Structure formats: structure tokens, C-alpha cells
Copies of this chain bind each other. A is one copy, B any other.
Amino acid sequence: MNQAEAGTLKQNNHRVPQEKMAPSDILLRKIQYHSPIDGADVAAIRRLRCEIREFVAGEEFIRQGDKPKAAAIVVEGIMARYHSLRSGARQYLTLHYPGDWPDAQGLFLQHMDHSVCAMGRALVCSIAHEPLMKTFEERPTIGFAVWRETLIDAAIFRESITNNASRHGMARIAHFFCEQFHRAKFAGLADANSCPLPLTQTQLGEMLGMSLVSINRHLQALRQTKAADHRAGRLLIRSWSKLAALGEFDPGYLHQIVPPGRS
């Protein structure tokens, strides 16, 4: 049982003072890499009012079946999307890093077909659908940029299908680690050879469709190859080339456009 299921969860929906940061910047930073945002677009984005909320580990942001009236952008930390199965188990679908829109589907679809929760502490900014949609109508480039984000999400889901269905334990884990490191790096969360990855082994299993015991054993094998290590909620890359080879990782599907001035 994880925290959310055990019902021992602390609620922590504190509003964070708006002055603490400009959430539009995290949004801009990401979409400017790939989309031709002009001055008027920037102004329109800055004009959007957003509410920042803080979440503790495991806390739910939105639940399967909900009908959201606002869209969320991850500002700090890591969020996860998951399906709740009838058996009570979870199937985690993806992780989301700062700049991601984990519930963008709510903009156009009636109800959520999955839930979103925080993995570790996280900060989320919500923008009400109505003004956001209006902005998309008036400044299509902004909508296109967010649309693009949702298409990359879909590419990540596809890769996940392939990873879970066609790779064996060790390779599957290696591939997953590669993806997370790549994305954490892109979001500015990683240092040269490590990044946060606040999942328990149970949750890794729920992500990759494997049992806890299998995860544990493959993780140990992975340690012995000296390719990567996962401990205490952190992923340590010891040999990127070895890990990428093990997981047959090719980052093309992430469609990352490397921002100028970063490696």
C-alpha cells in the first residue's frame, strides 16, 4: 500500500504566495524552445492568472472521473498519472516534470480517465480553462505549443507500450531509467549523472508491469553491471552508454529540441 491508498495522507493544499515565483516563466521557458512565441504571445501568457498549490508525496491532484475546470502545469517536483484498476492496484502511466501539462486532456474531454498525483513534494500551477481557451483562440501559436506538448505525451505513451510489451525485465527498467534521466535533465532537475526519481520499488513495478520481487532482483543485477543505481528516490547513472545499450534507448521519441546554450 502506498500513502494515498492507506488513507493516512496529509492534506497540504496550501496556497503559495503568488510572488514566490512567476509560473508563466516555466511555461514560457519550455515552449519557447520549439515554438515561435512573439512578444504579444508572451504578454498574453503573463496575463493569465494562475493559482499555485503545493502537494506532499502521494497526494492526489485530480482523480479518475473528475471534470476539471482548470489545467495544471508542473512547476516543481514530479507528478504521475495512473489508472486505478478494479483490483485496487494501480498502473502508473507516466511521470511529469516541471513545464509538463499532466491534465491537458481536461481541456477537451469531459472527464478524466486517469488520476494524477505527486511523487514526492511538488508545486503545481492551475490555469482556469476559460481564459486559457480564450487565449488559444486569440493567439493560436500558444495553443499549438500546448498541443505539441500533448503530442509528445502521446509519443511517450507509445514508447511505454513498446517497452512494456517487448522488452524483458532488465532492459525494460534500463529504458525507463534512460527516459527519466533524459527528461529530468531537460527539465533542469538533473545534475551530470543523477536525478531525482522518487519511486519505491513497488511503484516501479506498477509503472513497468512487473512484480516487486522482479524489480528488486533486476535492480540488483543492474547495479552489478555498473550501469545505473536507484536508491533512496534517486537515480544514479554510472555508465550512460551501457545503460542506453541495455535499454535500447533512442531519445528520438521525446522530440526534445535542445535549448540554446545547453548540452
A binding-site residues for B, Cβ under 8 Å: 81, 83, 85-86, 89, 91, 93, 104-105, 107-111, 113-114, 133, 136-137, 140, 143-144, 147-148, 150-155, 157-162, 164-166, 208-209, 248, 252-253, 255
Report Cα–Cα, A154/B164, bound state, in Å. 16
With both beta carbons as reference points, the residue of chain B lying nearest to A207 in the complex is identified as B165
What are 7 A-B pairs with beta-carbon distances under 8 A?
A91-B161, A91-B165, A93-B158, A113-B158, A113-B252, A114-B158, A165-B208
Chain B residues with CB under 8 A of A152: 109
A158 close to B111 (CB less than 8 A):
no
Kindly list chain B residues whose C-beta atoms are within 8 Å of the C-beta of A155. Answer: 105, 109, 113
A169 vs B161: C-alpha distance when bound (angstroms): 16
Identify the interface centre among A109, A147, A159: most chain B CB within 10 Å of its CB: A147
Q: In the complex, how many angstroms separate the beta carbon of A26 from the nearest chain B beta carbon?
A: 20
A214 to chain B, nearest CB (A): 13
Query: How close is A109's CB to chain B, nearest CB, in angstroms?
Result: 5
> Bound complex: CA of A147 vs CA of B154, how far in Å?
12
A86 lies within 8 A of B147 (CB): no
Q: With A91-B166, A113-B255 given, is the CB distance from A104 to B151 under 8 Å?
A: yes
A164–B162 Cα distance when bound, in Å, is: 10
A208 to B143, CA, bound (A): 34
| Of the residues B105, B140, B165, contact of A136 by C-beta under 8 Å | B140
Q: What's the nearest-Cβ distance from chain B to residue A49, in Å?
A: 21
Which chain B residue shows the least CB distance to A254? B113
B-side contacts of A109, CB under 8 Å: 148, 151-152, 155, 255
Contacts of A148 in B (CB 8 A): 108-109
CB of A65 to closest CB in B, whole Å: 8
